[in-house]
Amino acid sequence: MKRAVRVLAGTRSRPLPALALALALVAGGFAAWTGQDWYHAAHDDRAAYAEQRDAALAAGEQAVQNLNTLDHRDLDHGLDLWESSTTGELHEQLASGRREFAEQVKAAKTVTTARVLSGAVTELDDRAGRARVLVALRVTVRASDGARTDKDSRMLGELTRTQGRWKLSALGQAPVGGTPAG
């Protein structure tokens, strides 16, 4: 009888190491699975694409805001910001008409301030370095007599990646409702 008790006692102590081994194997398998998942996510093209999309959106929103903000008292800074936010034909148009436009703004003595309400990337070709954004903004115009006017606007911008940075290459009004784009 004592021998039977010893045999039974010996079998009862074995499940604990077996359970520990089973838990260790499950934990090791889980660690391998999550490690492999993490590796694939870190080396996935979708992550790089998402980074470019976010960079294009941030640059597009900032550039649209820049091109809708101008203070007649600090005109050179504002127009420099316009030029540094643009590239291509849009940049050439702004640079070539800078003097005439500056004279008009100085004469009107206006201050325009834009604030981005929302934005979205509508198209992104990462390989070609081109993107399109839709940006909703509120533009506040303060006239020389102190009158203030707020206007909500939606802008469509085309971006081109130059030297690793996204810049506006075209900008226009987005159609509203059933109004066709002009």
Question: pLDDT digit string (tens) for 51-87?
Answer: 999 999 999 999 999 999 999 999 999 999 999 999 9
**Number of domains, the chain:** 2
Helices within the chain (DSSP H only)? 2-13, 15-42, 45-67, 75-84, 88-96, 98-108
CATH (domain of 124): 3.10.450.230
Q: Which residues contact 68 (CB under 8 A, 6 or more apart)?
A: 112, 114, 137, 139, 153, 155
Residues 7 and 68 in one domain: no
Confidence of residue 42 (pLDDT cuts 50, 70, 90): confident
149 versus 23: the higher-pLDDT residue is 149
Residue for token digits 């533009």?
139
Q: Decide if 146 contacts 111 (C-beta within 8 A).
A: no
Instruction: Specify the range with the lowest mean pLDDT, choosing from 3-17, 98-112, 120-134, 135-149.
Output: 3-17
Query: Does position 16 have pLDDT exceeding 90, yes or no?
Result: no
**Same domain, residue pair 34 and 58:** no
26 and 114 assigned to the same domain: no
Q: Global pTM? A: 0.74
Q: Based on the fold, state whether residues 98 and 157 are members of the same structural domain.
A: yes
Q: Inform me whether the pLDDT recorded for 114 exceeds 60.
A: yes
Q: Which residue has the tokens 């499950």?
A: 26
User: Is 90 inside any structural domain?
Assistant: yes
